[in-house]
């Protein structure tokens, strides 16, 4: 019986949902590498294509894992890590090539700080056996953030196809930053509430 359980657990490591997550992790340095040549339009489009595929897998890996009952501890650990690595790498590269510049750098910092805050909070609360569900506003934030980064990766190359492309990306980035502050405060308030409740118990 133990062997069967172990076999199934090991099998889940190579399930399609987990393979999609692994692919997203691998895509991070590839997308970043393509963005080393921001002045080359072709490289921007390649980076955008890879980023888009990676972002789409973010939805399907979790959905398929639940639908096919193939959830695993490894997948649950890697999924949020892959998301944060992708977002952080793209933001760093966009700031480096000055697609994100000036006051908009503040929006990028807000998003990165929130990701670190929530990750630390979730890790701490996991030790207390407390989980914080993802709110609807957090899902809107994620959507706005992913779409914003897509527009910004296309950047000047995208402006040649869609005038104002980069401006749209900046507007969406600030929308994501505002939602980031809201959800970050919400998560922090919920986390502190759980902590105080735990400390007040005899």
Q: What is the pLDDT of residues 108-148, one digit of tens each?
A: 999 999 888 877 777 766 666 666 666 788 888 889 999 99
Dihedral, 108, 101, 86, 134 alpha carbons, nearest 10: 20
User: Do 78 and 110 fall into the same domain?
Assistant: no
User: Do 180 and 107 fall into the same domain?
Assistant: yes
Tell me how many domains the chain contains.
Answer: 2
pLDDT at 6: 34
Confidence of residue 7 (pLDDT cuts 50, 70, 90): very low
User: Do 161 and 89 fall into the same domain?
Assistant: no
Considering only residues 194 and 178, tell me which one the structure prediction assigns the higher pLDDT: 178
User: Do 113 and 128 fall into the same domain?
Assistant: yes
Instruction: Indicate whether 10 pLDDT > 90.
Output: no
User: Do 102 and 64 fall into the same domain?
Assistant: no
Dihedral, 137, 142, 143, 146 alpha carbons, nearest 10: 160
Which tens digits make up the pLDDT trace of 41-54? 999 999 999 999 99
Rounded-to-integer distance, Cα 24 and Cα 62, Å: 13
Is 0.85 topped by the overall pTM? no
User: Do 127 and 35 fall into the same domain?
Assistant: no
**Which residue intervals of the chain are DSSP H helices?**
2-13, 16-34, 41-67, 73-96, 104-127, 136-161, 165-200
pLDDT at 59: 74
Mean pLDDT of the chain: 81
């Amino acid at each position: 019986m133990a062997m069967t359980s172990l076999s199934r657990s090991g099998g889940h490591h190579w399930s399609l949902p987990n393979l999609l997550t692994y692919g997203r992790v691998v895509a991070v340095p590839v997308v970043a590498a393509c963005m080393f040549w921001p002045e080359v339009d072709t490289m921007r489009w390649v980076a955008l294509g890879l980023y888009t595929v990676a972002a789409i897998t973010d939805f399907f890996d979790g959905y398929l894992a639940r639908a096919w009952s193939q959830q695993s501890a490894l997948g649950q650990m890697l999924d949020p890590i892959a998301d944060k690595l992708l977002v952080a790498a793209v933001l760093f590269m966009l700031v480096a090539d000055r697609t994100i510049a000036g006051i908009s750098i503040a929006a990028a910092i807000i998003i990165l700080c929130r990701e670190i805050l929530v990750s630390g909070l979730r890790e701490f609360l996991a030790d207390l056996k407390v989980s914080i569900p993802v709110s609807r506003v957090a899902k809107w934030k994620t959507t706005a953030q992913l779409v914003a980064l897509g527009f910004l990766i296309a950047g000047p190359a995208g402006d040649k196809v869609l005038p104002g492309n980069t401006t749209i990306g900046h507007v969406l980035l600030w929308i994501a930053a505002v939602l980031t502050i809201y959800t970050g405060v919400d998560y922090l308030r919920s986390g502190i509430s759980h902590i105080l409740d735990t400390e007040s118990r005899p």
